[in-house]
Structure 1
Amino acid sequence: MINNPKVAVFGSGSWATAIIKMLCENLDQVGWYIRNESTIEYIKENQHNPNYLSSAELSVDKLHLSSNINELVDYADILIFAIPSAFLKSELDKITIDISTKIVFSAIKGIVPESGLIVGEHFHKNYNIPFENIGVITGPCHAEEVAMERLSYLTIASQDAKKAKLMSKFLASNYINTKISDDIIGTEYAAMLKNIYAIAAGMAHGLGYGDNFQSVLMSNSIREMKRFIKKVHKMKRNINNSAYLGDLLVTGYSVFSRNRMFGNMIGKGYTVKSAMMEMSMIAEGYYAAKSAYAINEKNKAKTPIIDAVYEVLYLNKNPKQIFKKLTELLD
């Protein structure tokens, strides 16, 4: 492990911006890859991101900003990726430098559509990065509350406890509590799955179901998540811990949840295309639903909620009819 490793964040959305804010609390310099040069110039002049989390004041004097992804890959020892999963491959394809010796942390809550893999597995398989050099940054934590410096919690997962502790130290502050885990596969799948369940919660709300049904939906969701993750990566874990249940609850219930918002629009009668056009942010659960459904066709876990979301989003089934069937399958 390198002494005083350099860190760079890749992505310019709300979660990437929140991570930059957290890192700047503890580090003297942080690299930040932003694809759009005009966004970089705006940040330099105005100390905040014009498009996402604009209320967060950024320590511009600590930022090494660049629109050249290879420059930041070369600069940093630890690479934190917070690019939406749907666009990750196209950005990675720009990298011409060997990254097999880098430490990679995923802050992406989704599956890479082209490979059907969670981000850590994608880096391991396609870039020869050993699992001990891969980590996951997960919640329960909304970027908007980080911007407001409201007390938030992060789980940092890595097979190498030293790397997890180091990243925890880089992100912790008086408003960020961190804990570590060795379940890199399980926490990353949980971060992906909870977005699907948040879409289901949003659909239910849009269809007029109340709090009583939502509580049943969420309690069934955590049990379904447990069954799914156990099939893909069996190890001892407490599914009621914050990285699993906590992240599910905040994404399912919060007004800041873009996946719940997306589902709510679908429940109210929007088409998938019109809901996406109206939202200015990516709903990761849309892409995750297709990938999770495909993965589970092989694993055969009992997943009625994932199946329901998939049928509405990808088979154009009627949400009202699908949720009427779903109510009979939940307990």
Structure 2
Amino acid sequence: MTDLSVIGGGSFATALVKILTENKIQISWYLRRQEQVEFIKQEGNNPDYLSFVKLDRAFLEVSNDLDFCVKNSPIILFAVPSAHFGSLCENLDVTAIQGKVVVTAIKGTVGEHNMLPSSFVARNFGIDEESQAIIAGPCHAEEIAMTKKTYMTIGSPNVEILNKLAPYFSSHYVTVNTQEDMSGAEYAAIFKNVVGVVCGMAKGLNYGDNFMAVLVSNAIYELETLLQALHVKQKRISCSSYLGDLFVTAYSAHSRNRTFGELIGRGYSVGQTQNTMNMVAEGYMATKGLYKTAKDLNINLPIVNTAYRILYNHMAVTTEFKLLERNII
């Protein structure tokens, strides 16, 4: 048995494995492709993501057998794109995960019903929130890989789980904050990815810092509107898992959502943008989910509306931004 299993082979999963193995936590690591598994076993680094990061193989058990990895640890950490989470779970033996602690590092809604990751886990595996936790930002994988100072938030209503997990991820360059709010942080993580896309569009259209400041200010108001309408229990919105994560996604060159939006702003189609990027931009699917949520709640979110019309109604990005200029203050 290992201490914890990580499910996912992308950049954030790799960054989390880096922290865990540095802390001498025994890890079972599931990756889908056998070639990736064999390379990590032999070379000690992920050939596809953050390939410059050397991982301590003494604390790694790498496999492409999902059920084995899930059965092999009491704590299961899912770090996969939200769009792939549902199909991944279809291949998982439900009995293998029951009774485990489930941690999600997933920043998007899941499935056609736009469920929060924690709600999806509860519905599909029968694991209530008391046995769950989430990992929230702001924590770009690239900066973790370079050991740049990072603040990570772990959320769970179960204080025992928080006390268990916090030392796993703490290090000289990672400060872990804990909070008992999960759903508020999950919605904030989903929303900030949409904001990142729209900020990228603004950059692609050559808007300046003055406009960007107003855009982000309005994004804060929209986030407050969304959380109030959802009646979610939340910490103060100024904490790092809310505004910190929003700011870094809106402004950072490491933000894949901002990069995605910038290409759209420069005239690329959605298909061209997805083919150009080798990583998933969660904001694309998040836009669809949040747009539906806002409609269901009867609230007006102009930034979300702008993203939806451009990405899904294929409206001209220049036209939509002229409209957005009149709808933000």
- 1:204 maps to amino acid: A
More deviation, 172-181/4-13: 4-13
Which residue in 1 is equivalent to 2:249?
Answer: 251
- Name the CA distance, whole Å, in 2 between partners of 1:179 and 1:72: 27
Alpha-carbon distance, 1:236 to partner: 4.6
Matching residue of 1:86:
83
Q: Could you say which residue in structure 2 is the equivalent of 1:47?
A: 44
Task: Tell me which amino acid in the other structure corresponds to 1:265.
Answer: L
2 CA distance for matches of 1:113 and 1:282?
16
Could you tell me which residue of structure 2 aligns to residue 262 of structure 1?
A: 260
Matched, 1:185 2:183: yes
Contact in 1 for aligned 2:101/2:131 (Cα 8 Å): yes
Q: Match of 1:100? A: 98
Look up the equivalent residue of 2:46 and give its one-letter code: N
Distance 1:179 1:28 in 2: 19
> What is the deviation of 1:32?
0.4
Of the three residues 142, 155, 176, the one matched with 1:157 is: 155
Instruction: Name the aligned partner's letter for residue 281 of structure 1.
Output: M
What stretches of structure 1 of length at least 5 have no aligned partner?
none
Q: Which amino acid aligns with 2:302?
A: P
Q: Deviating runs (4+, > 3 A) in structure 1?
A: none
CA contact (8 A) 1:5 1:78 kept: no
Is the contact between residue 89 and residue 114 of structure 1 (CA under 8 Å) also seen in structure 2? Answer: no
Query: How many matched pairs?
Result: 328
Shift of 1:45: 1.5
Comparing 280-289 with 123-132, greater Cα deviation is found at 123-132
Deviations 1:232-252 (A, max 9, x none): 243252111100000001111
1:68 pairs with 2:44: no
**Ranges in structure 2 where 5+ consecutive residues have no aligned partner:** none
Please name the residue that 1:295 is paired with: 293
Contact 2:193 2:249 in 1 (8 A): yes
- For 1:165 and 1:196, locate their aligned partners in 2 and report how far apart those are by CA, in whole Å: 32
TM-score (norm 1): 0.97
**Preserved CA contact (<8 Å) 1:34 1:66:** yes
1:78–1:233 CA distance, 2 compared to 1 (3 A): farther
Tell me the secondary structure at the aligned position of residue 227 of structure 1.
helix
Q: Specify the code of the residue in structure 2 equivalent to 1:79.
A: I
Given that residues 183 and 232 in structure 2 are in contact (C-alpha distance below 8 angstroms), is that contact kept between their aligned partners in structure 1? no
Report the identity percentage. 38
Q: Match for residue 274 of structure 1?
A: 272
Match of 1:12 in 2: 9
Q: Which residue of 1 aligns with 2:74?
A: 77
Task: Judge conservation of contact 2:25–2:168 (CA < 8 Å) in 1.
Answer: no
Q: Distance in 2 between matches of 1:60 and 1:185?
A: 35
Paired amino acid for 2:228: K
**Helix, strand or coil at the partner of 1:50:** coil
> Where do 1:203-214 residues align within 5 Å?
203-214=201-212
- CA drift of 1:166 comes to 1.5
Note if 1:126 corresponds to 2:124.
yes
2:31 pairs, out of 23, 29, 34, with 34
* Letter of the structure 2 residue corresponding to residue 262 of structure 1: F
Structure 2 CA distance for aligned equivalents of residues 236 and 111 of structure 1? 18
- AA in 2 matched with 1:40: V
Q: 1: distance between equivalents of 2:24 and 2:136?
A: 20
User: Could you tell me how far 1:5 is from its partner in structure 2?
Assistant: 7.5
Q: Indicate the SS of the match to 2:292.
A: helix
1:167 corresponds to: 165
Post-superposition offset of 1:161: 1.4
Instruction: Give TM-score, length-normalised by structure 2.
Output: 0.97
Provide Cα deviations, 1:164-188, integer angstroms capped at 9, x if missing partner: 1221110000000011011100001
Matches within 5 A, 1:210-249: 210-249=208-247
